[in-house]
Amino acid sequence: MSEVKAMAFEGPDDSGHFGPYGGIFVGETLIAAVAELEKVYKELSGNKEFWCEFDKELKHYVGRPSPLYFAERLTNYCGGAQIYLKREDLNHTGAHKVNNTIGQALLAKHMDKTRIIAETGAGQHGVASATVAARLGLECHVYMGAEDIVRQAPNVYRMKLLGANVVSVDSGSRTLKDAMNEALRDWATNVDDTYYIIGTVAGPHPYPQLVRDFQCVIGREAREQSFEQIGRLPEALVACVGGGSNAIGLFHPFLKDKNVSMYGVEAGGHGLDTTEHAAPLNAGIPGVLHGNRTYLMTDDSGQIMETHSISAGLDYPGVGPEHAWLKDIDRVKYVAATDSEALAAFHKLTHLEGIIPALESSHAVAYGMQLAADMDCSQCIIINLSGRGDKDIETVAKLEEIDL
Amino acid sequence: MSRIAAITKKARQEGNKLLIPYLVAGDPGLPETVRLMRALVANGADIIELGIPFSDPASDGPVIQRGVERSLARGTTLIDGLEVVREFRQTDQTTPIVLMGYLNPIEIMGYEVFIQKAIEVGVDGVLVVDMPPSESAVLHGQLQTAGIDTIYLVSPTTNACRAVSIAGHSSGYLYYVSLKGVTGAALTDYESVRKNIEELRKLTDLPIVIGFGIKDGESARAMAELSDGVVIGSALVAEVAELADSEGISDEQISSSIAVIKNARNAINTIG
């Protein structure tokens, strides 16, 4: 990789762009709030004490570092590269999402905000936000599409147990994107006392940057663990991509390791040849939504399309702007796994390793298994197991017509 | 001189206040939008803001969201919105039209195609809610070359330094957002609006109009007293919503669905 390309990983630039992507596309009322956040984050992220506080939270509250686990039986089944799983499913609250909410809660605390809002699709980010809000004694409102509230009932109840107010969003397609619109409306209305915890590497600058920085703990650990356990870097990394926070967290610390290939796996839904998927990097075009320019699922007249995925957490028409950039400069290869491939992988991992993966993560497992099968047994790959699948067992049972 | 500059200049000279209704293009249908626009002008509208529907209107409250959903359910596109302007221009060459909406439909159409079409049909100004000046260099430059005004928002959270910069980028008029929140929210704190407009006056000579939360004659009068004019959106869209399920909408129905604008005009005209 050339020197010019190495510079390409230093983003975002001062105005919050990754090449042509990212930026700040919000209404005027929110500009001051975004600017304040940028200023505070710039100060704190240069401050060692802040990161010590963050690391301490991750260690004692989240339970990090998460293991890098050699999936021996899955490896034997695939018959190719050795498969390692980065076990984000073992984090407190059951997914990688909490890495980010811990970080942003610290920012909220430093900014003296008393009220937290969040959007959620599958409910994992909502639970992780409600969790940190409970711990810090902050008021918490989670916006969730009415459709998703039905699909993810256990997580709705978890949020309520944690003291959060779950607000049902009935506008638009009643899913994650609409929940994000509603959270942006709340933020504009309550901008003085409210901190908006965005759950993925999207939204206006500085969110894509700060969420990435908090999630990079995944890749930093995985890199160290690779040297300890494998004695070298892996040949490839695989992670699912909805908004893309777990993927960027794993990939980013490896971007300059030119021999490490990276695969982001989008939700292929019923197939990329249909319109029922959520794979903007594979089948979308650049546009502007939710504060940033990125690849989107948008129709010819610029309306955002409804997406489909078996997993609520990947059911989003956009993707983080840094992924859009990494696609364009060809550093990461973006592929897709269909609903049925993800479901098959869900079962396979459960049977062979005794680990029930989230349906989101099952997309990464599905592609990782294919990839490993085509590689040599002397090679290694790391699949990010971004979350556990307990929340999904009702969905899976229903799909398979099993009455619980 | 642009149509917007001409009308704002005339209003200032004569001591009149601008009344700017906002409608969603295609709500309840495209022909009805044109009829509503003509009725609005006949009843005292000075400029019309024509909303281009977008699937994710993150700065709008529930009333305009539903108007947008009604319009999109009929398949309204940005091209349809531009065609509404063309149709309106068949009989009205003087009333300025400002297209108001979100960036994505314009991005997907392509800036050059959009501007070419906007000139062709007679658009006077463009207000893109989610495109602050820092992100608008390219589109703004092209609009300027085309002689189309670019209108930006200033809000209660905008500091003085930024307000100066926004005013420097704006042409036509400056749109002051009366409250922290979304369109159609309750506007209660007139005093802080007064103070902020006073500050803003010191920073720019551009005409300043106030929008968000103006819902009747009384609030229109109060806000117009402080500024060069008012924008009324949600309150009008709420009345237009009543037409949604009607077949063969009569002129009387059109006329009664713009009552809030008539009331606002009458109330504003009482300003001494």
Give the single-character DSSP code of A208.
H
Active-site residue (options: B46, B49, B149, B228): B49
> pLDDT of B192-207, one tens digit each?
999 999 999 999 999 9
**Interchain pair B58, A27: CB under 8 A:** yes
B170 has a pLDDT exceeding 90: yes
Q: Which residues of B touch A285 (CB under 8 A)?
A: 108
Asked if B56 lies within 8 A of A23 by C-beta distance, the reply is no
3-class state of residue B191 by DSSP:
helix
Residue B49 falls in the annotated catalytic set: yes
Domain B3-268, classified CATH 3.90.550.10, yes or no = no
CB pairs under 8 A between A and B: 126
Residue A153: per-residue pLDDT: 86
**Contact state of A188 with B180 under an 8 Å Cβ cutoff:** yes
Check B157 against A33: CB less than 8 A apart.
yes
Q: Do A28 and B159 make contact, defined as CB atoms within 8 angstroms?
A: no
Residues with Cβ within 8 Å of residue A381, at least 6 apart in sequence: A81, A82, A83, A84, A234, A235, A236, A237, A238, A368, A371, A372, A375
Contact A185 B154 (CB under 8 A): no
Q: How far is CA A144 from CA A87, A141, B66, B157, in A?
A: 27, 10, 19, 27
| Concatenated DSSP letters of A296-318 | E-B-TTSPBPP---SSGGG--S-
Contact of A198 with chain B, judged by CB distance below 8 Å, is answered with no
In the stretch 230-259 of chain A, residues with CB closer than 8 A to chain B read none
Mean pLDDT of chain A: 96
- Residue among B58, B104, B109 whose CB faces A185 most closely: B58
Measured between CA atoms, the residue of chain B closest to residue A21 is B135
Q: Are A381 and A238 in contact (CB under 8 A)?
A: yes
Per-residue pLDDT at A254: 98
Buried b or exposed e, range A141-156, using 16+ CB within 10 angstroms: bbbbbebbbebbeebb
pLDDT of residue A5: 59
Chain B residues inside the 8 Å CB shell of A296: 104
The encoded tokens of residue B222 equal 């109060």
**pLDDT score at A3:** 47
Q: What is the pLDDT of residue A6?
A: 57
Q: What is the DSSP letter of B190?
A: H
Q: Side-chain half-sphere of A307: how many Cα atoms within 13 Å?
A: 35
Give the dihedral sign, CA A97/A98/A101/A106.
negative
- As given in the structure block, the two tokens for residue A196 are 């908006």
Spatial distance between the Cα atoms of B172 and B124, rounded to a whole number of angstroms: 9
Write out chain A residues lying below 8 Å of B60, CB-based: 185
For residue A180, which residues of chain B lie inside 8 Å, CB to CB? Answer: 58
Tens digit of pLDDT per residue, chain A (404 long)? 444 455 678 899 999 999 999 999 999 999 999 999 999 999 999 999 999 999 999 999 999 999 999 999 999 999 999 999 999 999 999 999 999 999 999 999 999 999 999 999 889 999 999 999 999 999 999 999 998 898 788 899 999 999 999 999 998 888 899 999 999 999 999 999 999 999 999 999 999 999 999 999 999 999 999 999 999 999 999 999 999 999 999 999 999 999 999 999 999 999 999 999 999 999 999 999 999 999 999 999 999 999 999 998 999 999 999 999 999 999 999 999 999 999 999 999 999 999 999 999 999 999 999 999 999 999 999 999 999 999 899 999 999 999 98
pLDDT of residue B247: 85
Does an H or E element contain B105, and which?
helix B103-109
CA distance B153 to chain A (A): 6
How many residues in chain A? 404
For the sheet with A291-296, list strands across it: A17-18, A21-25, A291-296, A285-289
| CA–CA min distance A96, chain B (Å) | 27
Nearest to A184 by CA among A168, A166, A197, A201: A197
Of all residues in chain A, the one with the smallest CA distance to B106 is: A302
CA distance B64 to B23: 9
Using DSSP's 3-state secondary structure scheme, residue A358 falls into: coil
Measured between CB atoms, which of B65, B102, B181 is closest to A188?
Answer: B181
What residues of A are annotated to the active site? 97, 119, 386
In Å, how far is B138's CA from the nearest CA of chain A?
12
Query: Each residue of B221-245: pLDDT tens digit?
Result: 999 999 999 999 999 999 999 999 8
The per-residue pLDDT for range B39-94, each reduced to its tens digit, is 999 999 999 999 999 999 999 999 999 999 999 999 999 999 999 999 999 999 99
A114 and chain B in contact, CB less than 8 A = no
Specify the amino acid at residue A60.
H
Chosen for mutation from A14, A25, A174, A178 (greatest number of chain B CBs closer than 10 Å) is A25
Nearest CA among B221, B166, B154, B228 for reference residue B190: B221
Q: Is B161 exposed, middle or buried (0-12, 13-18, 19+ CB in 10 A)?
A: exposed
Q: Do A24 and B185 touch (CB under 8 A)?
A: no
Instruction: Exactly one of B60, B87, B149, B228 is catalytic; name it.
Output: B60
Put the strands of the sheet holding A194-197 in their side by side order.
A165-169, A139-145, A115-120, A194-197
Closest C-alpha among A57, A66, A74 to residue A94: A66
Radius of gyration of chain A (CA): 19
pLDDT tens, residue by residue, A77-124: 999 999 999 999 999 999 999 999 999 999 999 999 999 999 998 899
What's residue B160's pLDDT?
A: 94
Q: What is the pLDDT of residues A307-334, one digit of tens each?
A: 999 998 999 999 999 999 999 999 999 9
For chain B, the structural domain boundaries read 3-268
**Contact assignment for B181 to A32 by CB distance below 8 Å:** no
CA A140 to CA A144: how far, in whole Å? 13
Write down how long chain B is. Answer: 272
User: Counting Cβ atoms within 10 Å, is residue B193 exposed (0-12), middle (13-18) or buried (19+)?
Assistant: buried
Mutate to test the interface with B, among A167, A303, A306 (most CBs of B within 10 A): A303
**Is B153–A28 a contact, with Cβ atoms under 8 angstroms apart?**
yes
Across B121-141, b (16+ Cβ under 10 Å) vs e yields bbbbbbbbbbbbbebbeebbe
- Angstrom distance (rounded) from CA B194 to CA A237: 58
Rounded alpha-carbon distances, angstroms, from residue A404 to A396, A399, B20, B101, B247: 11, 12, 58, 47, 49
Q: Cβ separation of A15 and B134 shorter than 8 Å?
A: yes
- Residue in chain B closest to A181 (alpha carbons) equals B58
pTM of the model: 0.96
